[in-house]
Amino acid sequence: MNTRVKEPESVGVLGLLGLLVLIWSMPGTIALRSLLLLALFSYVVFRRKSIRDELRDCSSVRIIFIGFGFFSGWALIHSIWVSQAPDWSLNELAGQHPRVWVALVIGVGLGALYSAEMFRLLKIVLLTSLILHLGDYLLHWVMTGKTFIEAGITGRLFGQKLLISYLANLYAALVCADFLSSSRRNGQKRMAFILLGAEALFILFMTVLIGARNGYIGLAVLAGSTTFLYGYLQGYRKTRHLVGSGVIVISAAIVMGLLTWHTDPRWERFFESAQAALDGKQHLAWLNERKYPLPILSDGRPADHSAYMRVAGIRGAIEAALEYPQGYGFGRNAYSRAWRSLVGEGQGSSLSGLGDVLVGLGFPGLLIWLGFCVSLMLFSLKTFIRDKNAENMAMFFIVAGFLGRSLVDSNIRDHSLEMFIFLIAALASSACAKKP
């Protein structure tokens, strides 16, 4: 550990940062989050000269600033000249993106100043989040005799199971990145496999406990990509090695698929619910679920709410974007506003981050966001292959995971976007500062 951590100033700063990351996904903590963001931002501004020295030439940080700068810039230009409701869009933009820029500056600054500690700190805090959720789960079970599912709740500390499942996927991304990095160092492969096995079992246990379908999918994709990357990086390009990797990945996917199928009865109605969601004229619950009932399936039960609404949201986002190809206007409820403008009623968001961007900022905004994410993924993977550091590999996994989740989660906004931008900025700058 870097000797700077022993200094009271550094211990205090890293403590505040750890607290911020820990509560970022907790509901009811907006005031504390804002206070921590302000304090850490002030510290980074105060240490800006030292940060500048650490980041003399950092391409990944430039990509983040330029990529998100284009996205945020288009949102501003769109809100002024293109939006169907400029005042509303500007108010929404002012309420979201300044905080994201603050998180970006904090990530770059603290990643550079505490490059030796950043990866470990993030991993410890995410693990702590999972342990806290497990403790809360066990406490509820001991006190009431019921699990969260039996009690009809999905979580208490982190509100929704989607949030804690995202934290579990983030922790898994850091674990896999650490494994791929350490396995490339001579003499550490055996220990890397032992640690990976222990951490993988814990992550799988927590994923089953949380019970979020997106968590299973994210973990399966992460396991598959880690297996193939390990084989590629170790030079296992022969047919038998590729076949072996494929068998491991398929087996892991089958195991996780069976676990989620037996622990989540909603899968039985998923496909028929999704099919009903594609018919936006006959089934109208996606427009106003208080006014229109969910479709009734062939077994006489209503459609699975989550599957129906998410598929219908993506379909509705595409249809709305065809009516407003340049975007309706930046904002959390661009989806409902666009549909109210088109047919007189609409509700909420599309439940898809990509769908929200498409409706709000149009096809140009969606292309800018996809270009930003894909370019950062390619650069971080290329840099990892060259430098073998865990930070760049973690960036690749985190960006890929966030992009994948944004198809079915409305995450390109508010605290989700703040935390995502902070994480990739902190990892990018710490990777650059650690280079000799």
Tokens of 83: 């939006």
Per the CB < 8 A criterion, the answer to whether 87 and 329 are in contact is no
Whether residue 7 is predicted with pLDDT greater than 60 in this model: the reply is yes
pLDDT for residue 242:
53
Residue 43's alpha-carbon distances to 50, 96, 199, in angstroms, are 12, 22, 34
Tokens of 266: 């909603």
User: Can you tell me the mean pLDDT for 255-284?
Assistant: 76
Q: How confident is the model over 99-129, as pLDDT tens digits?
A: 999 999 999 999 999 999 999 999 999 999 9
Q: Which of 132-141, 155-164, 174-183, 366-375 has the highest mean pLDDT?
A: 366-375
Whether residue 2 is predicted with pLDDT greater than 50 in this model: the reply is no
Whether residue 261 is predicted with pLDDT greater than 80 in this model: the reply is no
* Alpha-carbon gap, residue 260 to 255, rounded angstroms: 9
Q: CB neighbours (10 Å) of residue 270?
A: 18
Distance of CA 151 to the CA centre of its chain: 27
* Alpha-carbon gap, residue 67 to 99, rounded angstroms: 17
* Alpha-carbon gap, residue 113 to 116, rounded angstroms: 9
Q: How confident is the model over 218-244, as pLDDT tens digits?
A: 887 888 788 778 877 776 655 555 555
HSE toward the beta carbon, residue 208, CA cutoff 13 A: 13
| SS3 call for 248 | helix
